[in-house]
Amino acid sequence: MDKRFWNRVIFREISKESKEAIIQMNKIKAEYQANEKILSEGDPIDHICIIVSGVLKSTEYTIDGKELNSSYFFGEDMYPGGDAFPFYMVYGGMKYHVSHTYCVKKASVIWLPVEELKPIINSDPIFLKNVLTFVSQYTCHSKLLLRCVQYRKVKDRLAYWMTHINDPNRLICIPNSQEVLADILHVNRSSLNQALQSYIEEGIIEIDGKEISVLKQEELIHSI
């Protein structure tokens, strides 16, 4: 396991004993291709998925088959530190997955058995604190996204995403693609592109590749 595996908040400053125990675990290393189904609703929650690279997407559907909610999980190559899931479900006492999970961009993951991992976490106070921090951050992020998509206008959703879910004082990375960001904001891609172009023309933001620079933070905040 390389630094992409260890370079995430849940493993930060954990004990040598914890690291060694993880190395000795019955891990499963897997590679997935775009659009490949990884998990199905109703599958048992028996592993924690560490996303080393690539992008995964979990989607819940209504009883009539309409997409209800989606969560994206990014590898260390897409998001500093990378994602891991579903810690919140494991510690929430859930036994089965409530959504389907697909690969969006070719991904490399490592599956850690829950029954082997939990005793390691429980015996290491720093590890336990890291997991608590990680789950809390995930919950806060989810709450902010729910607040974000309550805005009716695409520009308002985009402004909220840039100023409340991200730090407007730093470069903001578009997650994987505009298509993924549009899905996160529950808007179509063309509307998102129009909103981005509008902010560029107004001199509020600049875009270089997949990086957004906020030039007029106060104006952007007050526009919501």
Closest CA to 98 of 85, 115, 114, 79: 85
Tell me the Ramachandran region of residue 42: left when phi exceeds 0, alpha when psi lies from -120 to 50, beta otherwise. Answer: left
Model confidence over 189-221: pLDDT tens digits? Answer: 999 999 999 999 999 999 999 999 999 999 999
Q: How does the average pLDDT of the chain come out, rounded? A: 93
Residue with tokens 């001199």: 203
- On the question of pLDDT at 63 being above 80, the answer is no
Residues contacting 176, CB < 8 A, separation 6+: 55, 72, 74, 78, 104, 105
Mean pLDDT of 131-139: 92
Q: Output the pLDDT for position 77.
A: 66
Residues paired with residue 30 on neighbouring β-strands, in sequence order: 109
Q: Output the pLDDT for position 104.
A: 94
pLDDT bracket for residue 59 (50, 70, 90)? confident
Indicate the CATH number for domain 154-222.
1.10.10.10
Instruction: Count other C-beta atoms under 10 Å from residue 137's C-beta.
Output: 11
Q: Please give the Cα distance from 54 to 61 (Å, whole number).
A: 23
Model confidence over 156-168: pLDDT tens digits? Answer: 999 999 999 999 9
Terminal Cα distance for the chain, rounded: 44
Indicate the CATH number for domain 3-148.
2.60.120.10
Q: Examine domains 3-148 and 154-222 and report if their fold is the same.
A: no
Closest CA to 130 of 165, 94, 91, 167: 91
Q: Output the pLDDT for position 173.
A: 92
Residues contacting 83, CB < 8 A, separation 6+: 8, 51, 56, 73, 74, 75
Q: Output the pLDDT for position 81.
A: 72
Q: Output the pLDDT for position 80.
A: 65
Strands, E, within the chain: which ranges?
A: 28-32, 37-39, 47-61, 67-74, 84-85, 100-113, 172-173, 205-208, 211-214
Mean pLDDT of 143-165: 96
Please state the φ and ψ torsions of residue 26, each to the nearest 5 degrees. Answer: -80, 75
**Side chain identity at residue 201, one-letter code:** E
Question: What is the chain's percent helix, strand, coil content, to nearest 5?
Answer: 40, 25, 35
Say if residues 143 and 160 touch (Cβ distance below 8 Å). no
Model confidence over 16-53: pLDDT tens digits? Answer: 999 999 999 999 999 999 999 999 999 999 999 999 99
Q: Where are the domains of the chain?
A: 3-148, 154-222
